[in-house]
Amino acid sequence: MKIIYCHHANRKKGNPPGSNDDITNLGKQDAKLIAKLLKNVNVKNKISAVYTSPFLRCHKTATIINKYVNAPIILDERLNEKDYLGKEDWVDCQNRIKSALIDILKKHDNSETIVVVTSGVNIASFINLAYGIEASQNAPYLGVSMCCPILFNIDKDKINLN
């Protein structure tokens, strides 16, 4: 199965980031470029679904992408970024997102390609899932460029889906 992680497009700054942060005009342009790239992927291996955090910047990015790939958009609150106000620790965040990814894997077969639009630090959970790494307080907050797609090839038969 192919999961294309996509960081949301460039957001209007807010500190800490909020759920209603919009994307900039540059972000809209970048999302359109990524959408055109994914459209070419879609021709070869149809994208079955676009999953997204309901955060405004993620949902807008997913909507722009979907204008080119024409797949169902599915909102999942578990794909939200880490709660920076202290209500969630880093391990809980990684496990929450990994749980969402496992549920997504269960809904699709190994021949499918899906796109998941979420926030930058969430890449750790994708790496954890792909490489069988347990969530850790020591896992780095990895930086990912805005609107950056990263392809993960995941064999569901080699992943613990429980």
Lowest-confidence segment of 49-58, 115-124, 138-147 by average pLDDT: 138-147
The phi-psi region of residue 64 (left if phi > 0; otherwise alpha if psi is between -120 and 50; otherwise beta) is alpha
Q: Which CATH superfamily is domain 2-158 in?
A: Phosphoglycerate mutase-like (3.40.50.1240)
User: How many angstroms separate the CA atoms of 71 and 157, rounded?
Assistant: 25
Query: For the residues of 1-15, what is the DSSP string, one character each?
Result: -EEEEEEPPPBPP-S
* Mean pLDDT in residue range 132-152: 86
pLDDT of residue 44 exceeding 90: no
* Closest listed residue to residue 112, CA positions, set 155, 75, 64: 155
What is the tens place of the pLDDT at every residue in 50-105?
Answer: 999 999 999 999 999 999 999 999 999 999 988 776 788 989 999 999 999 999 99
Domain boundaries, the chain: 2-158
Q: How far apart are CA 4 and CA 154, in angstroms?
A: 11
CA angle 23, 5, 7 (to 5 degrees): 20
**Band of the pLDDT at 155, cuts 50, 70, 90?**
confident
